[in-house]
Amino acid sequence: MTPPGIPLGATPGADRSTDPYLPANGNGGYRVLHYDLDLDYRVVSNRLAGRAVVTARAVQPLSRFSLDLGPRLQVRDVRVDGRPAKFDHRTGKLRIKPERPIGYGATFKTEIRYAGKPGPVSGRWGDIGWDELSDGVLVASQPNGSSSWFPCNDRPGDKAAFLITITVASAYTVLVTGDLVSKRRGAGATTWVYERDEPTAPYLMSVQIGRYEMVDLTTAGVRQRAAITPRVRAAFRHDFGRHGEIMKAMQQLFGPYPFREYVVVITDDDLDDPVEAQGMAVFGRNHLDGRRTHERLVVHELAHQWFGNSLTVADWRHIWLNEGFATYAEWLWSGASGGPSTNTHAARWHAWVAAQPADVVVADPGVDRMFDPLVYKRGALALHALRAKVGEQAFFTLLRSWVAEHRHGTVTTQQFREHAARYSGASLDDLFTAWLDSPALPPVPRVL
């Protein structure tokens, strides 16, 4: 290990990403192609030992490069293409100087062995990442908590495939965002192997560990399962009883579900908010009450599988493309299931927004306002205004084609503007400027 304070080279921009909101998270100079993680976790002692192999392609010549890795994990060894490399691990950055420089366009493999007591990353949004439950683990990494459990390029636009092997005491069920490849039971511990071959942002990878039982959400269509604890079984059966119908409605609205399976996890702990991950959503037991009080959240998290997970923002400025769309999905399901119409929701939330200070620009809210409810509600209102402008057929056609054309890719607000313009008989510049670029609130839109 290089002693602290000794520079590891002079590759420009190696330690900073292109995300204007979180420039300290993510790294330049390469794109990750694949993560191979082999983890051993002890629940009682909260001890994680890991081996990560990160396969990447250089997008510039590299004399050095960096990965994000939280300070609670200690690095034991780093090798690049099989050769020992110098490294320095401080302030959440693992800086690596390979024995030989890496040429532009070259594919290279970095192997990192590390261990420690993982814990969440603390910041302006609270604790994010690997977090202990009362008896298990929850991982919720949006927007910058992935480094709490594995070395990564922690920015949303660098999507990669994953293979995750994790060994845990056999009393626990392990769920990872991916397809279960194998499960091998040994003497007191079980090894679970999951693969996620669709390009995935690091923050959307998740591990859930608990004493769960698996149940089917529906027996038709897309495979939909849930991990629950016995004491929530009755409330769960009612609160998620329409999940098959919700999935069918979302597919009719947005196109085919983008993954092979959808898994819902109900932790035995209370959570402030549900959490979406790739092909997964995590709820607290407090989100179940046997009265479907929180069904809109069920819809919201499922909609993120299209908007946020399959289509992932290139950087966090564009977060309304995740949250505005998922919020509008809530309104669409409400109308489709016999509840208040989208016009009713639009009028109600327009009145709420009008009562707030007009100080958020939806298309670029700033890092402090990324998760502001105004971004969610005004984003949904912008979509309702677009629907009112272009008409029913054009609106839903453009939504489905938006999803299809950018499947498993990254997206920006400008791309959506250009896409929507293809389906309008008139210019949409004034509409998007009013709803996305200006803090002033336009009149309430109404779909006829």
Q: Binding site for Zn(2+), residues?
A: 300, 304, 323
Binding residues: 300, 304, 323
Do residues 289 and 283 lie in contact, with contact meaning Cβ atoms separated by under 8 Å? no
Residue with the two structure tokens 């007591």: 117
Structure tokens at 16: 């900073």
* 301 in active site: yes
Largest distance between two CA atoms of the chain: 68
| Contact between residue 137 and residue 209 where contact means Cβ atoms under 8 Å apart | yes
Phi and psi of 39, rounded to 5°? -120, 145
Rounded CA-CA distance 299/170 in Å is 33
Catalytic residue among 30, 212, 328, 376: 376
Spatial separation of the C-alpha atoms in residues 261 and 179, rounded to whole Å: 8
**Which one from 198, 276, 295, 301 is the annotated catalytic residue?**
301
- Residue 268 CB neighbour total at 10 angstroms: 18
For residue 135 the two structure tokens come to: 């008896």
How many whole angstroms from its chain centre is CA 2? 34
Active site residues: 301, 376
